[in-house]
Amino acid sequence: MEQKNNPQEQDINQLLKVRREKLAALCENGKNPFEIMKYDVSHHSMEIKDNFETLKGQQVSVAGRIMSKRVMGKASFCNVQDLQGNIQSYVARDSIGEESYAYFKKYDIGDIVGIKGEVFETKTGEKSIHASEVTLLSKSLQILPEKFHGLTNTDIRYRQRYTDLIMNPDVKETFIKRSRIISSIRHYLDAKGFMEVETPMLVSNAGGASARPFETHYNALDEDVKLRISLELPLKRLIVGGMERVYEIGRVFRNEGVDTRHNPEFTLMELYQAYTDYIGMMDLTEDMFRHVAMEVNGTTKVTYGDVEIDLGKPFERMTMIEAVKKYSGVDFSEIQTTEEAKKIADEKHVEYEDRHKRGDILNLFFETFVEEHLVQPTFIMDHPVEISPLTKRKPENPDYVERFELFITCREMCNAYSELNDPIDQRERFMEQEKLLAQGDEEANHLDEDFLNALEIGMPPTGGIGYGIDRLVMLLTNSPAIRDVLLFPTMKPIDK
C-alpha cells in the first residue's frame, strides 16, 4: 500500500521549491544576491530607536533578516532583525520604484536585506525607516522553524544554534553577555597586573587535574599525545621563569560524560600569583565575582532559578571537616584511621572503593551530605592531602592542604591552592598518583619529570586558582544547563 506524505511536509516541500524558483528567476535577470560583496551599514536597530530624536528625518542604512512582512498593494511594511534587535520599515512603490517594489513583494521571511531611508515615526508611534532603497543581500532557501511549529525542540536548538539565535532573542542576549563576562574578567585581571598567556593544547602528559584525557597521535613525530585537561602545569612553569602574575582563558578537554553541568570541551581560566597563598586567592575571587556581576548585570544580586544569590555579602568560609560535621553529624577530626573512616561510611551508607583512604572518604561524605546545601557563596577550605596532589600541606596539620573550592547554587565554581613548590614532596605525591594509575584510576596524574625539574630550579610561594567560565556564565545569565551557555555544545550523532 502506497504511503501518503504528511500534508504539512508536502506544503513545506512546495514552499522550499518556490524559494529556489525565485532565486533562479533573480539570477536569470542578473540580480543574483550571492554576488553582492558588501553593504555599508550606518546604524543598527536599537541605535536608531535610542537616538530617535537626533536621527528623526535623517538618512540611515540598516541590514538584517526579514522576520515579518505585510504587503498592502502599493505600500508594505517589513520588520528587519539585526544584531541589536529589530526595526520596522515602510516600503512604498512610489519611494523605491515600481521594479524594485515588484521584487520586494516576492522576498521571503528569512531573506537578508539592506534598507536605506529616512527615520520617521508612524501614526501608531512605531519608530521606523521610510525606505528609499531595498537591496536583497542573501536569499534564504530554508523556512524559519516557527513558520509551522516554533523552535521549541531543545535538541534542534543546540544542533542548529544559528537558527536558535535568529528565533530566540534571549539566547542571543545570553551569548552577548557571555562575551561581556569574559571581557570583564580580563579587564579586572589586567588592572591587577596579571598577564594573559597561551599554553599548548596538545601535550605529552595531561596533568593538573583528576580527569581522563582525550588521546590522539601526532604523525610528524610518531608520538601519542593528549588534549590538555588543565592549564596548571605550564602556567606554574612560567611562575618559575619569573612571570609573577599570569592567567589563561582557554579550552580544556575531559573525556567524561555529558550532563547539565559537564561538557567534554569547556572553557577554563587559571591564574597564578607569586608571593601569595590560598587566602589571597579567596580575597581575589570574592572581589572579582562582585566586580564582574556589577559590570555585566549592574547589581551584585543574582537571580538563579527561584533563588536570589547575594554576591555582595561576605562569602561564608568553612573547612571541609566543619562542613561535613554540620550536615552529616560526623566529625572527621576524631577519625584517625582509614579503617575507622570505612566503618562510619558503612554506617552512613556512603559507598567507597577498596583503594580509598581516610581523606578520600571525607571527600565522599562532603559530596554526599554537603554539596546540596551550598546555595549561597561558600568557600570550602582545607581538603585532605589524598585528593590534592599539587597543593601545599598545612604546616600545623600535614594530613590537610591549603586548598579551597567555591560553591554557589550547589555547584563548584572554582578550585584554588597554595601551590606545592617543594620538589621532593611533589615527587612523592606523583609516585602515589602512579600507584593509583596502576590500580585502575584513569583520572590520576602521571609523573612529570620536566615539571619536577622546574620546581627544583625554584618556584616562589604561589597562589593559584581555576575557574569554570561556563558555570560562571550560567550563574550570571540564569541558565539551567551548560549547553545553554555553549554556542556549540557536544551532541550525540543524529544517527545514533
- Are 185 and 416 in contact by the 8 Å Cβ rule? The answer is no
Q: Tell me the pTM.
A: 0.90
Taking the C-alpha atoms of residue 133 and residue 96, their distance in angstroms, rounded to an integer, is: 5
Q: For residue 434, what pLDDT is reported?
A: 85
Q: Which cell numbers in the block locate residue 114? A: 539592506
- CA dihedral sign, ordered 392, 396, 398, 403: negative
- CA dihedral sign, ordered 239, 242, 245, 249: negative
Sheet holding 202-203, edge to edge: 202-203, 223-227, 215-218
Quick one: how many helices (H) and strands (E) in the chain?
16, 20
Beta strands in 19-159 (DSSP E): 59-72, 75-81, 86-92, 112-121, 127-138
Q: For residue 184, what pLDDT is reported?
A: 98
Query: Which parts of 241-277 fold into alpha helices (H)?
Result: none
Which residue type, as a one-letter code, is found at position 475? L
Largest CA distance in the chain: 90
Q: For residue 152, what pLDDT is reported?
A: 64
Query: ∠ at Cα 30 (24, 32), nearest 5°?
Result: 55
Taking the C-alpha atoms of residue 422 and residue 455, their distance in angstroms, rounded to an integer, is: 7
pLDDT < 50 regions, the chain: 1-3, 147-149
Q: For residue 5, what pLDDT is reported?
A: 55
| CA-only gyration radius of the chain, Å | 29
Query: How do residues 211-263 score in pLDDT, each as one tens digit?
Result: 889 999 999 999 999 999 999 999 999 999 999 999 999 999 999 888 888 99
Count of residues for the chain? 496
Taking the C-alpha atoms of residue 292 and residue 300, their distance in angstroms, rounded to an integer, is: 9
Q: For residue 249, what pLDDT is reported?
A: 98
Q: Which cell numbers in the block locate residue 340? A: 575507622
Query: How do residues 16-62 score in pLDDT, each as one tens digit?
Result: 999 999 999 999 999 999 999 999 999 999 999 999 999 999 999 99
Full DSSP string of 378-410: EEEE--BGGG-TTBPEETTEEEEESEEEEEETT
